Structure 1
Amino acid sequence: MPLTDLTLEELTGYRPQSQAPEDFDAFWEQTLAEARSHGGTVTTDRVTGLLRTVDVDDVRFPGWNGEPVAAWLLRPRAAEGPLPVVVTYIGYTGGRGRPTDHTLWSAAGYAQLVVDSRGQGHDTPDRDAGGGTQWAEGFMTRGIDSPGDYYYRRIITDCVRAVDAAGELPGLDPERVIITGGSQGGGLTIAVAGLARDRVAAALPDVPFLCHFRRAADISAEGPYVELAKYLRRHSQNRVVPTFETLAYFDGVHFAQRATAPALFSVGLMDPICPPSTVYAAFNHYAGADRTITVWPFADHGGGYGANPVVQLEWLNDRGLTP
């Protein structure tokens, strides 16, 4: 896989001008206020017979429109005291999967809340999917006619409400909420870091998606951004400007400009799905003073693969965010 984007020297200084819509903050304040106004409770149901050293709970918490969102809560068995919790968001077209897919953080002594992706996982339907445009290939153009109907408004709301839920679950430390995810999960991590900055202790976005949409649509060779190019290719030219006006409300660059928690990004310099310049656009706009990026020079969209969790654990240890 060859380098297909800017050089590392160019990426380090890549900070494109990017102005959020004037009503960006009001849009998200209203969105989250409406979601919270529906109320609802967080419920847990213990899952037995799977793992000997980890307790697993099947969780439901209120998300978009108060609708129940599924999650797994994993904790080291017999752990004492409130635990730091790693809220995990999932990559594109994936869901929470099985509890056995997510044992690393509990093995390291953390609690982990694994959030299902509405409409993508099997356990959280996207009931509002009928609003606006719904192009069959994927989620990138679902409801893209307007910010109010766009798919990512709903899933980002779910992800913020997951942080709310983490503060209500017993045995977890609401002062040590760590958010993370790869690809789509990385983009959702940046969004939550910007929207719930007063309740996030650290953010770990890996090879994040959902950043710098216009450049991503222009240069991505593979993956979900290609859906945007295909959609615009099949529609008249008058859809280009409105499409990117909608996407501006969901761009990781604009969320990064509002995020303050310590952050550890990662990037693969040979990534054809989330081009490194789109990752650096968010990283270089990130408002938090403590920001670090792990560069994997020969990596594709897998980033650091199995080496990356080691980097994350060491980074958290250096900041005292340990069980």
Structure 2
Amino acid sequence: MPRFDLPLAELEAYRPTVSEPRDFDDFWAATLAGSREAGGEVTVSAASDLFSAVHVHDVTFPGFGGEPVKAWLILPTHREGPLPAVVEFIGYGGGRGLPSERLSWAAAGYASFIMDTRGQGSVWGSGGETPDPHGSGPAVPGFLTRGIDSPETYYYRRVFTDAVRAIDAVRGLPEIDERRVAVCGGSQGGGIALAAAGLSDGLVAVMPDVPFLCHFERAVGLTGSDPYQEVVRYLSVHRGAEDQVFETLSYFDGVAFARRATAPALFSVGLLDPVCPPSTVYAAFNAYAGSDKAITVYPFNEHEGGLGHQWQAQAAFLARLLRSDARDEVSA
């Protein structure tokens, strides 16, 4: 893939005007309050006897509207006291898969919580188990245009609420130190992590890897790749719907959530990425409100980014933060 976006020096200074609705905060406050008021129980049950170094638990927690959402909770077998936790969100079309595919964070000594993405899990990987019980108006195959005629009905309203409620659920588990919860994810998972960071207080770290769902207006006009092309195909049929579509998307733009997020953050970007163009990632990174932020740049990589190299960077980043936090507690 040849370079098609801005040069790196321009990316580092790229701070576009990204539209944001006046009632953005009220919309999300009402959405989250309604889902919390809907209640619902968190259930945790042992899920596998295949592992000796970790304990795997099948979790169901209340998400949007109190609707049940599945997750894995993976804990190191040998642990003392409550653990810091990493809540992980999944890329587009994938589900929580199998626990054997997600052992890295538990192997590093963390409680690992992997959220299933409602309605997804049948495009790649080992599947998902959380339905999305909501219908949709006309939409292009995929998820990006489901319910796009209104922010109230838009698919990602439910997904982002699920993510916040996942953090709520994790903080309530006895094995978890509620003060030390981080979020991460790649592509769609990175966009969900940004939304969760903008809507949740007190996170210890945010790690969006090649994040999707950022700076929609530029992405839709710049890349010829899916999933953003789903919006192009929708608008090519629903002529004249552009204003309403981008009005809806403005409630879900990662740039708006980045403006509200303050936890220490480590982003990543592939400068040849045709799926999540570099300028859309930098739009969110440069808008990010937290002062402790960094971005790992992969000059010759596409949407795969750094893969295992980025996980190592995240693990080092999170370990540094927790060491610093521990020193602060001792000095206090």
TM range (shorter): over 0.9
User: Which whole-Å CA distance do the structure 2 matches of 1:45 and 1:318 have between them?
Assistant: 32
2:176 aligned residue: 172
Q: d(CA) in 1 for partners of 2:320 and 2:168?
A: 26
Mark the runs of 5 or more structure 1 residues left unpaired by the alignment. none
Show the 5 A alignment for 1:149-228. Answer: 149-196=153-200, 198-228=201-231
- Determine the structure 1 residue equivalent to 2:124: none
| Cα distance in 2, alignment partners of residues 68 and 50 from structure 1 | 26
- What is the SS of the residue equivalent to 2:60? strand
State the match for 1:4 in structure 2: 4
1:222 deviation in Å?
1.3
Give the Å deviation of 1:41: 1.4
Q: Which residue of 2 aligns with 1:317?
A: 319
Identical pairs, percent: 56
Alignment partners' CA distance in 2, 1:265 and 1:220: 20
Which residue of the partner structure matches residue 124 of structure 1?
130
Q: Is the 8 A contact 1:132 1:149 kept in 2?
A: no
Give the Cα–Cα distance (whole angstroms) in 2 for the partners of residues 62 and 235 of structure 1: 35
**Structure-1 residue corresponding to 2:125:** none
Normalized against structure 2, the TM-score is what? 0.94
Deviation of residue 78 (structure 1)? 2.3
Aligned counterparts, 1:60-75, within 5 A: 60-75=60-75
AA aligned opposite 1:312: Q
**Is the CA contact 2:204–2:321 (under 8 Å) kept in the aligned structure 1?**
no
Find 1:249's aligned residue among 241, 248, 251: 251
Return the alpha-carbon distance in structure 1 between the equivalents of residues 50 and 157 of structure 2.
34
Range with greater deviation from structure 2 (155-164 or 313-322): 313-322
1:199 match: secondary structure: coil
| 1:133 paired residue among 138, 145, 151 | 138
| Contact residue 85 and residue 172 of structure 1 kept, 8 A | yes
Residue by residue over 1:16-54, the C-alpha shift from the partner in whole angstroms, topping out at 9 and shown as x without a partner, is 012410000000000000100111111101023221101
Q: Secondary structure at the match of 2:40?
A: coil
Q: Which amino acid aligns with 2:227?
A: P
**CA-to-aligned-CA distance 1:136-181 (integer Å, 9 cap, x gap):** x100100001000000000000000000001111110110000000
The secondary structure found in structure 1 opposite 2:314 is helix
CA contact (8 A) 2:139 2:234 kept: no
Structure 2 Cα separation of the partners of residues 178 and 298 of structure 1: 28
Q: Is the 8 A contact 1:263 1:290 kept in 2?
A: yes
Kept in 2, the 8 Å contact 1:132–1:146? The answer is no
Distance 1:234 1:50 in 2: 50
Structure 1 position 234, deviation (Å): 1.6
Secondary structure of 1:60 counterpart: strand
The CA RMSD measured in Å over matched residues stands at 1.2
- Verify: 1:29 aligned to 2:33, yes or no: no
Provide the rounded CA distance (Å) in 2 between the counterparts of 1:165 and 1:214.
34
Provide the C-alpha distance between the structure 1 equivalents of 2:113 and 2:84, rounded to a whole number of angstroms.
Answer: 11
**Counterpart contact for 2:272–2:299, Cα < 8 Å:** yes
Give the match for residue 16 of structure 1.
Answer: 16
Aligned residue type for 2:273: D
Deviations 1:185-241 (A, max 9, x none): 000000010000x231110000000000010000112120011111111221x2011
d(CA) in 2 for partners of 1:15, 1:48: 47
SS of 1:295's partner is strand
Match of 2:115 in 1: 115
Deviating beyond 4 angstroms after TM superposition, the runs of 4 or more aligned structure 1 residues are: none
Residue 85, structure 1, aligned to residue 89, structure 2: no
CA shift for structure 1 position 317 = 2.0
| TM-score normalised by L of structure 1 | 0.97
SS in 2 for 1:231: helix
Matched, 1:235 2:238: yes
Deviates more, 1:264-273 or 1:218-227: 218-227
Structure 1 pair 131/230, CA: closer, same or farther in 2 (3 Å)?
closer
